[in-house]
Structure 1
């Protein structure tokens, strides 16, 4: 396929076509669609003051109860004035004679008066003589149809009004274009809330049933593709309206409605000119009632209304090439023709499987009832089953494949067929929906260039938007086919979902990989050329690509088809847009490699994007781009790589491979992506979005039960708890700061089990944060919109100070990628070279020194290289978020009630250069005071007591590793108080000095407390929390205390364990062993246990095998760090 960019043709959507047709062929257009960011009819509303663009009155309406009143009034005014003129020439004459003002007593409503005045004005301007011909002219103008542009929601609201209209024949005909699309909120099995767009056909069929029962006599036609809907909405609508019939034209608003292609309005066929009955007009216009797709010998037939549902089901059948299952697509639902339904079915059909939207486990409805009625009338004896389709989500092609396979006798899924024609090309573009370099506009520019008549190419472009993941992402699918050979059976979305792309272009990959898997085994193939637009070197690609992407590339992609290029860097160097660079990259890879650079420049010069460029500049930039496109070798070893988590292989989290549409257009709130100068320094409107959320919380909530005090961006269940005590355990003159924290959990619903960890969402130090913001020149009080860091379905408004104190780990250690990012922004050449060197493999030693020895933070790095000034958007995107730090809970909830305790040691150190460093979260916790509130979550753990209360327990803790064992001991003490027999507990503890670090070892008396419940008062003796008290009471059987600095020769816990070898071996016959603390003693502890088993009669091999057996039974548990 070749292309010569030439004169730009008009690419337009079905929406734009229908809007233009309505403006010219109707007397009035009522716009009821309120789809955010891209409403159907929006262009008409903007241009309604321009009489050259529209001869019709345009009314922008609200979608609410009673929304059709104005429409009814307008139609009545025409029906009771203009239609009356047909019966009396004098009434038409009088309407012009009375000082030019028409008598409007017949019209009772304000809209009716407006319509009458409008007609009178037109009569004045025409200055026609008062005779019968003038009256006839007035009537013909008044008889022009009225058009309604609506969404699913607004059509539902209009239904009662449509039944209130005067009967057909005494009023102008009505065409209602329904762009079927509503927002739907659904929860998956894990309870994660997601937003998507669905047609809601079940509700639409309910309305059609209501209209039918109310005596409405128009036609309702459904369309699967933009081309079908264009024919229905223009040629068929004109012919039906001319014959006095109403029409409801239904199509999918997200796919058919917004797909861009070269669409032209169709004209009514000559054969339809003399017809008047709806059925005759439909036949003459070649609009089938039903359309069958699939094997002529199918025994099972899916029956689905024409929509995105049928489009994806059709794609699934085509991929499977199923001989057993066919598809009957319903195009005309009113008037319903049972005979044509019978005729459309294959004679081999034995069972029908009918589409039914599933609401509250109910899977029937008017559409299902029509099918049953047709079978009864025709006398066919077929089995009928409902195919329940979730009302809150759209089934994918793979979902339909599963359904079809389940209906087939052969349950094996065969090799799937690609729906991309052999001569066609498919280009997929992933990007943010708004970028400084405008790279998101590249697909539209390319589609317009290909649409030129001289290219010989039929271009179609489908763009979908996700406003809620990563602040706004778009996926554009550009389908290029030979002119005259374009596929009519499948939508662009269906082809893209079932075929490997010819070209896959990824901009902002680091952001997109957090929400989607654009590189997968289903989206790329051996011939797919993959371009990554990022500031990555070829060597870095392997380290930055997700695990799943590398697997897919190694498995199916060609080894020489992966490329990387930094479009932003080239654009900045030549003072042009990144979009221009991206277009040149596309043409470089799309055009035949045999073309010379001179020939390519000649072709580019004819493209609309580069027509105004000087030839020398185009030659220079094209040469730079061609040299900058770096080929990356796909290594076969990528297929064998494992994903290690904490040293163990783990399966990666699966992400969607295709974009989940949540909106009709780009995210209008993407203010975080603006340049720094526009969002800092107290811009006057920076607080508006935040204020809207406070004023109208019900409009922004997804879950009504969310605690307003909690941060909205955290996906796991979180709790806001209150500090009740913060007590230092080590002496104030001791160099280690170990402290005990108690939190009040009353009323929060927080529940935890023994051994679990408390995840604390800590903040950065306030003064240090303000100091950094002041140095960087950011206003801490400016309000910005940022994507939620953990929940991609939300955008939140926060002050700059809140973002840097509570969201971003600005004082954490940056990875190599951040050095490379900074190099892009460095205006000082020496700094740019230094940053780039550290980020490349040759600079590994320097990076390791800065990271591990100097512990350089993000803030340090920005200060060290001051000429590099990323925008706030890039800082938010590239700096790691503050992750929760987890601490073992040191209390038993049964023992302490509505409380949770922690044992924490602050982390402090000095760098070789003398800079003082602090652990981010321990510093935060150390500064808490009684009454402060903290956001926490619970993390499960394998550190739990044996199921049997009488099982022996051996605990070994070093320093703050004593925390979970304090909880163990409390739980056993509580169980004993309840009358249970508890087994022996052996407690080993190690630290440096007994007098300073015998944590929880000194006796502090605690009084007996009364636990009160409404029907009972129980007196429980709460044991002293200290170890010695538990030892005296027999809860702890024996302690092995090792204080390494208190003796001339250092003593550690493994030495104490060696002393108790016989006891250990006996207790571990049916007991459990736990170690908590730093990693270093783990090997020595293992040796001590092996020695104990050997002394007790086992061989070394048997001892090691037995410990492995204990591990399998979770009776040998290490929690080391």
Structure 2
């Protein structure tokens, strides 16, 4: 990417090089943003002889920075790392290492990363550590974030450390940091203390992972020559910090943590109140504590993190012991307050709850509850899938705000690993004006002060069906949905909860198809920049212009991205943004309300932090399938709550598909064109009885077609696969569920191995190529320089995934990986050629087989039309319903003008059947005009007998039939429409007020000529100027009276 864009450094699964990180740390403070946890790892790597990474710390995202620094360093500049397991007595490993130190490691500490639980496990062995020296000391870096409860939610509670706090050996100093600046500085301080081993406990629930602009230069580790007091004094810090009223009568004392920062942020609104924040717990300095507590204090409330109301309260005992020895005659009363995990969780996401809680423990009678001053900030939330190409969009989109010296911006990402396969990441960006005095507030707490979201970006549209996304959105707020779905599909995939909230808050829904745009621009790596450009427009709101968005995009990406001008990318994103209309009365309530899932923060590092590969798809012999058959009670899926009337969803029927699926039976497969004719157009009928399938006139039927049996067997034989082996595949959107099938079934029914590969497939495949020539060729095709080669393969040779694998035989990913990178067969949608009101439990299709020969002579077949053409009566087919724009007008008397080419006649047959049914019941109906075009009347007059019958019965008022190859002068439907200009003008124009509706279905090529025919009719017979006629048609489109369904 040729741009000024840099990747922010935060906890990730990728290794980070020393040069990149060093440049970031030394960059101008106004141009870089970095998480303090990365700075911490950098300092630890530089100042340590070795780093022990315990599994509890690796689970919290630590390790990649330290490992990357060591691998890219020369002369052992950065410490070697060791992966170790947390267990009872884990500290003995460090004790043994201390005894092995060499003179070459002098002045370099031994560092260990572990979690709060790991530190508690080490606690019994810490007293065995030798007296620390400058060349033999241990630094324990402890990220404060713990999994709590059965749902494993992450919490910043320190309650698991209470046994350690009560038994810290005298040779250990204990530091606590809670802001991004403190985390970096206290890390540096910990490596300058020579007279103590050090335990540095820092907030990793929020501050340690927060991305924000560096406001000041962080301290850097120096030679270890100081005791703890001297090190803190030289760094400009104190053991205790006091905030609040200088003449306070009530004071709380709390360990430095997100809770302490939250109390600090509200201290000013509580009268006669103050707070003491403990930043150094050991050595405990009673004199320093007495100095910071105002002499006016009457009551001191010590807040301890606790597991229950009766838990040991170590901080209370420290404070009580220190202040009870005070020489003052009127010593303040000291009381203990234990804050359990559920209470802590509530206090950290609501300022009002915190103030209310403090008021309950402080004996002050307030005439009115204190008002918390509102912060003038914007809150933007992104929802994404951490395994997709759009996972970096929140960070990329936020970069301009995070680096601006005029803004105070912060970004925090949280992941829920369990609510759906692959996980869900929620990224919160808070943007406000820069302030002279920088104060740090935990982002979850700041969001809690005003829960409403100013803008929402949904990068994983499948969440619309499963998760509650709109409950915190402001009324009328913009919402960007990134998806290839159209507006009707978006609406049909909304959960009951989301429908209810959208109807109530009426957000401005915007839709962006980055997949389709990237395909048009011939570069799938542009998806993230396209979203980022659209986000800039979203953020600017009504002040946004194309020029402004383009200018900001250039500031973010440079002048071009992969040789494509940024102007073109910004323009494409601007033009592609579409609105999703919300009905005036909101969405009708679902018959059965199914609540959506909430979001739970339970994962910091969504990807594995070690080098092993975790594959979500796995193959095995028949043993696993046998278990499913033998132990159905344990493995059978629960009954689906989704129903259609009295018919439940068949859970085993393509469970990887989000839409409701139906199993229908083929009853008729009849060819409509002569056998000797080179085009096979055929009519299908499916029996839908006892399936619950209902469809509206004009909707489309999604057919989940199968790959050809012999081609699948040939591919398995060539690839060396046993078709009978079993493969287990996760069910999308259903955590913990998997469906098991044979490899043959997977490639026949689900994996799109004979589909068209995107450019990204070549790049992924290159990593599996063992032959250098294959690897270089695949990389070339996937790069910008190989665009012409990719275009030739994709558009001329129309190669499939299988073809590419055969072309580069050394690239043989395991079958589990192959299934993931190829993806699933997408349903093909066909306009339904019947009206259910007329045919009952039946659905009809009109299909033409698609086949062609490539320039190299290879035959090609349309995957789904080939499958449908081979159907025999009695065969079962999996289908789903897709909404369409082809809807009948609400008034039966409105004229209908239908124009269909070839199989575009399908929806109009349904129109005719329905109007014929109404007429048979003596219900008045308006006129119907039918224009149909094909090559030859004798071969492609599709449903000709039915059309003639409808004409004879008066259902069709007039027909304009154009068979282009039957006459010397080719005649098309637009020519027939020109002849009927007066009739078209009367039905569509304003003069007669008939409010007719025009429909066109078929290929795109006649659209301009048809448009010209109608414009000409309006000009000639309705008296409109050409410009007015063109605008009139645009107005008809808005009224859904000029409807196109072309392909």
CA 1:210/1:560 → structure 2, altered by over 3 Å: closer, same or farther? closer
User: Is the contact made by 2:251 and 2:301 (CA closer than 8 Å) also made in structure 1?
Assistant: yes
User: Residues 304 and 316 of structure 2 are in contact (CA less than 8 Å); yes or no, is this contact kept in structure 1?
Assistant: yes
Q: Determine which of 653, 660, 664 is the counterpart of 2:604.
A: 664
Q: Aligned pair in 2 of structure 1 residues 518, 260: CA closer, same or farther (>3 Å)?
A: same
Residue number among 54, 67, 84 corresponding to 1:45 in the alignment: 67
* 1:518-556 CA-partner distances (Å, limit 9, x unpaired): 322xx333574322223455567666545554655566x
Larger Rg: 1
When the two chains are superposed, the root-mean-square deviation of aligned CA atoms in Å is 5.6
For 1:397, the equivalent position in structure 2 comes to: 349
Deviation, structure 1 residue 384: 1.6
Instruction: State how 1:69-108 maps to structure 2 within 5 Å.
Output: 69-78=92-101
Matches within 5 A, 1:938-1017: none
Task: Give distance in 2, aligned partners of 1:384 and 1:612.
Answer: 62
SS at match of 2:392: helix
Does residue 567 (structure 1) correspond to residue 514 (structure 2)? The answer is yes
Q: How does 1:514-913 map to 2 (within 5 A)?
A: 514-515=466-467, 517-520=468-471, 523-525=472-474, 528-535=477-484, 537-538=486-487, 545-546=494-495, 548-549=497-498, 552=501, 561-575=508-522, 576-577=524-525, 578-591=527-540, 596-608=545-557, 611-614=560-563, 618-632=566-580, 637-638=585-586, 643=589, 645=591, 653=595, 656=598, 659-666=599-606, 685-687=618-620, 709-711=633-635, 775-776=706-707, 782-786=726-730, 794-800=735-741, 835=829, 853-854=841-842, 866=864
**Residue 366 of structure 1: how far off its partner (Å):** 1.5
After TM superposition, give the deviation of residue 465 of structure 1 in Å.
0.9
Paired residues of 2:379 and 2:454 also in contact (CA < 8 A): yes
Q: How does 1:315-464 map to 2 (within 5 A)?
A: 321-323=269-271, 327-345=275-293, 351-359=299-307, 362-378=310-326, 380-382=331-333, 384-390=335-341, 394-395=345-346, 396-398=348-350, 400=354, 403-404=357-358, 406-407=360-361, 417=372, 420=375, 422=376, 424-435=377-388, 438-452=389-403, 456-457=406-407, 459-464=409-414
- Change in Cα spacing, 1:546 to 1:290, as seen in structure 2 (3 Å) is farther
Structure 1 unaligned segments of length 5 or more: list them: 79-114, 120-140, 187-193, 695-706, 718-756, 810-826, 858-862, 870-874, 881-911, 913-1121
Q: Deviations over 1:651-681 (max 9, x none)?
A: x74754xx42211222559xxx99xxx99xx
Q: How does 1:1046-1065 map to 2 (within 5 A)?
A: none
Per-residue CA distance 1:293-335 (angstroms, 9 max, x = gap):
45667665444322233345556778xx444765443222112
623-632 or 7-16, which deviates more: 7-16
- 1:838-882 deviations in Å (ceiling 9; x for gaps): 8xxxx9x968889x743799xxxxx9993799xxxxx999999xx
State the alpha-carbon separation in 1 of the partners of residues 584 and 411 from structure 2.
Answer: 34
Is the 1:363–1:388 contact (alpha carbons within 8 Å) kept by the matching residues of 2? no
Deviations 1:899-929 (A, max 9, x none): xxxxxxxxxxxxx9xxxxxxxxxxxxxxxxx
Q: Cα 1:864–1:301, aligned 2, differ >3 Å: closer, same or farther?
A: farther
Distance in 1 (CA, whole Å) between partners of 2:738 and 2:492 is 33
The superposition leaves residues 933-983 of structure 1 with CA deviations (integer Å, 9 ceiling, x where unpaired) of xxxxxxxxxxxxxxxxxxxxxxxxxxxxxxxxxxxxxxxxxxxxxxxxxxx
Aligned-partner SS, 2:112: strand
Q: Tell me, in whole angstroms, the C-alpha distance in 2 between the residues paired with 1:338 and 1:693.
A: 68
In structure 2, the partner of 1:247 is 198
SS class of match (1:17): helix
Q: Aligned partners of 1:876, 1:393: CA distance in 2, in Å?
A: 50
- The whole-number CA distance in structure 1 between the counterparts of 2:49 and 2:518 is 49
**Alpha carbons of structure 1 residues 579 and 788: separation in structure 2 relative to 1, 3 Å:** closer
Does structure 2 retain, via aligned residues, the 8 Å contact 1:17–1:263? no
SS in 2 for 1:240: coil
Cα distance in 1 for partners of 2:80, 2:409 equals 34
For residues 185-224 of structure 1, what are the structure 2 equivalents within 5 Å? 185-186=149-150, 194-212=151-169, 215-216=170-171, 218-224=172-178
Instruction: Indicate the residue corresponding to 2:83 in structure 1.
Output: 60
What's 1:478 paired with? 429
Is residue 2:418 matched to residue 1:468?
Answer: yes
Q: Residue 237 of structure 1 is aligned with which of 163, 172, 190? A: 190
Runs of at least 5 residues in structure 2 that lack an aligned partner in the other structure: 8-30, 656-661, 667-702, 713-722, 751-797, 799-824, 846-860, 868-876, 883-909, 911-1047
Query: Are residues 708 and 311 of structure 1, via their aligned partners in 2, closer, same or farther at CA, if it must alter by over 3 Å?
Result: farther
Residues 488/833 of structure 1: CA separation in 2 closer, same or farther (3 Å cut): same
In the TM superposition, residue 211 of structure 1 has moved relative to its aligned partner by 2.2
Would the alpha carbon gap of residues 542 and 269 (structure 1) be closer, same or farther in structure 2, given more than 3 Å must change?
Answer: closer
Residue 237 of structure 1 and its aligned partner are, at CA, apart by 2.2
Answering whether residue 255 of structure 2 is matched by residue 305 of structure 1, we say yes
TM-score by length of 1: 0.52
Q: CA deviation at 1:635?
A: 6.7
State the partner residue of 1:279. 229
Of 300-309 and 246-255, deviating more is 300-309
- Over 3 Å counting, the alpha-carbon distance change for 1:315 and 1:267 in structure 2 is closer
1:589-623 Cα deviation digits (max 9, x unpaired): 2347556534533442342387434455x434422
Change (3 A) 1:365 1:573: same
CA shift at 1:47, angstroms? Answer: 4.5
Mapped partners of 1:335, 1:12: distance in 2: 31
CA distance in 2, matches of 1:804, 1:462: 43
- How far apart, CA to CA, are the structure 2 residues paired with 1:18 and 1:483? 25
Does residue 162 of structure 1 match 2:126?
yes
Cα distance change of structure 1 residues 305 and 445 upon mapping to structure 2, 3 Å threshold: same
Change (3 A) 1:35 1:59: closer
Using structure 2 for the length normalisation, give the TM-score. 0.55
The alpha carbon displacement at 1:585 in A equals: 0.8
Contact conserved, 2:159 with 2:307, CA < 8 A, in 1? no
Partner of 1:233, secondary structure, is helix
Structure 1 residues 519 and 762: CA distance shift in structure 2, 3 A: closer
Q: Secondary structure at the match of 2:864?
A: coil
**2 CA distance for matches of 1:172 and 1:257?**
28
Say yes or no: does 1:26 pair with 2:24. Answer: no
- Judged with a 3 Å threshold, the aligned counterparts in structure 2 of structure 1 residues 402 and 611 are, in CA distance, closer, same or farther, namely farther
